[in-house]
Structure 1
């Protein structure tokens, strides 16, 4: 069950963080979900702090990562197809040479 801080507990925690006695962190997964699912206007309305730049950066990097993954898959497919074509042509050349040798031997 999730527990929430009372306003007094929050103020105490905030003082400890400012004094360096405590630290406050968020897991990557939770941060990713937060930036993906919560609109920047909702964040600004609730906290008074605009997260537009940070959210834009996170979303842009997510799309960049997806683009890099797609590029890698494309390069893998290209390499595989080029290798397949090269192997096919080599096999075809060897077959033609074998047929020519058999015709000359006959």
Structure 2
């Protein structure tokens, strides 16, 4: 039997018109959430990039100005890893370690 948080996540994208055949659930998360508390996400048309912004890992940032959405980029600060789930509670998340904006390549991109 699925608990409440699993049921919420299971249908989150389908309820918003995303074809379930295009979704893959990894069922992994690197950090334990204290007391199992989950802040339910709010749907927004935004993308959050969370991770190490060191230029050796995120070389794509040098080209971010080539994307039309660049004018909407906002920096929200640095947080300890275990606080990130509470800070990022809307929109979509992006994991992108690569040398360019066209493809996730290079040593870190190939790992992904």
TM over 0.5: no
- Please indicate the TM-score interval, normalised by the length of the shorter structure: under 0.3
User: Which protein has the larger Cα radius of gyration, Structure 1 or Structure 2?
Assistant: 1
Q: Which has the higher strand share?
A: 2
| TM-score after normalising by structure 2 | 0.18
| TM-score after normalising by structure 1 | 0.19
Q: Which has the higher helix share?
A: 1
Structure with the greater relative contact order (CA < 8 A, sep ≥ 6): 1 or 2? 2
